[in-house]
Structure 1
């Protein structure tokens, strides 16, 4: 049984973890506290190597990791200066193991759930199709919630990718947010979206619900505990009323 939940800030991301913690306090009886960035609070000397080992090298190759000195040095710099990290996908399960090892011995028990909000992209391997899939969260201890995953994991409308490619061919760079929002029909979140904090609330709650009930997600697309595979589904589940299906409203609605 969970007694305490600790959330960790992601200072380089558009995510107000303190606001998420306040929302969680209103919906649970647990003690909820907030700490600074997980990778600062629980840093240890071998963490850069563990990040290097968790790197996804090929979207269609199950094997991960690059322990070359230059890669480890990159990970060391990224730990010190998180604003310099980016463009790398990590095995979320392997990363979770590394961060679990970084927790103090007295805090690994599931009575104290840790939820690390990260500015890194994480994924899991799909045995069904033989490739890596980006994820918003990886449930367990600690639970990982990826802010980049919120924008990148659920699929956007096809027109988004076509417009992005067209703009890149013409200008050699990604189009500004305003171009995508004005020229692509459909609803989706993109990097630094002002709706980020609101959308992340449900993904943090999924971490708590999983540890308490053993049920990973809800099947109702209108519930915050639903695992959205497309951006319109994410918008529906996280940003529109009702917040919860009837079953989870009984548990979590204020």
Structure 2
């Protein structure tokens, strides 16, 4: 059994450090490769990305395959630093990326985990809207770096301070300013704690692959899935790392 983790070139995530951490906790071999979208590029991917675009937060239907949008996705694949501001259906991206995996590596005993510089989401039947996600479990498993900052909700004071500063200066305030002005703990783009926080989200994809289980119900466990940023900080950056049950597996 094997796990392959893919780097993302445009973010603060260190795939090699995450892989070392995983090797200390699981028996399976862990390899690191360059960006998934470079390693397993196919001619169909730009159109498939265009088809996976979320058009509205409240519309289930996705996709805009107009020529200009497909051309944008081609440029984004070639120059990932230019991509951004788009939400993609995570399940649709999985369906698009799975056939790109080589035939010999698509068996159930080999998990591929792609660190992505794209925002991904899943549709909520319970409230009729899209929700950004940090990860999407499955094959390949997707771990969204923008999702780490954007999916779990920050304190309302954060959004208010960001709006106020943007109105005055025309730009978003630096992370250090927001952390000083806003009570509570949260992660923002480029946060130096990004790699540490992502370790648990990558392990969640491996845990699901190994056991068939989803997220842990115990808050504070690295395998839990908090919906607010303070919960993410508590689960991924504070001790203990795991609840009692999962500490037996990964502690």
* Residues 192-227 of structure 1, C-alpha deviations (whole Å, 9 max, x = no match): 100000000000000011111111110111210000
Alpha-carbon distance in 1 for matches of 2:68, 2:108: 36
Which residue of the partner structure matches residue 135 of structure 1?
133
Q: How does 1:10-25 map to 2 (within 5 A)?
A: 10-25=8-23
CA offset at residue 187 of structure 1?
Answer: 0.2
TM-score by length of 2: 0.99
Query: How far apart are the structure 2 equivalents of 1:97 and 1:107?
Result: 16
For 1:193 and 1:118, the matched residues in 2 are separated by 16
Distance 1:76 1:45 in 2: 9
Counterpart of 2:209 (choices 208, 211, 224) is: 211
Counterpart in the other structure of 2:196 = 198
Runs of 4+ aligned structure 1 residues displaced above 3 Å come to none
Q: Distance in 1 between matches of 2:29 and 2:180?
A: 43
* Other structure's SS at 2:152 match: coil
The aligned length equals: 251
* Offset at residue 171 of structure 1 (A): 2.3
TM-score with structure 1 setting the length: 0.97
Counterpart Cα distance in 2 of 1:143 and 1:110: 13
Name 1:9's counterpart in structure 2.
7
Counterpart pick for 2:230 among 217, 227, 232: 232
Rounded to whole Å, the distance in 1 between the matches of 2:67 and 2:165 is: 36
Ranges in structure 1 where 5+ consecutive residues have no aligned partner: none
Secondary structure of the equivalent of 2:24?
A: helix
Q: Distance in 2 between matches of 1:178 and 1:239?
A: 18
In the alignment, what sits opposite 1:175?
A: 173
| SS of equivalent residue, structure 2 residue 123 | strand
**Mapping of 1:67-82 within 5 angstroms?**
67-82=65-80
Aligned-residue offset at 1:172: 2.4
SS at match of 1:199: helix
Tell me by how many angstroms 1:178 deviates: 2.3
In the TM superposition, what are the counterparts of 1:1-254 in structure 2 within 5 Å?
3-253=1-251
Across the aligned residues of Structure 1 and Structure 2, the Cα RMSD in angstroms comes to: 0.7
- Give the Å deviation of 1:102: 0.9
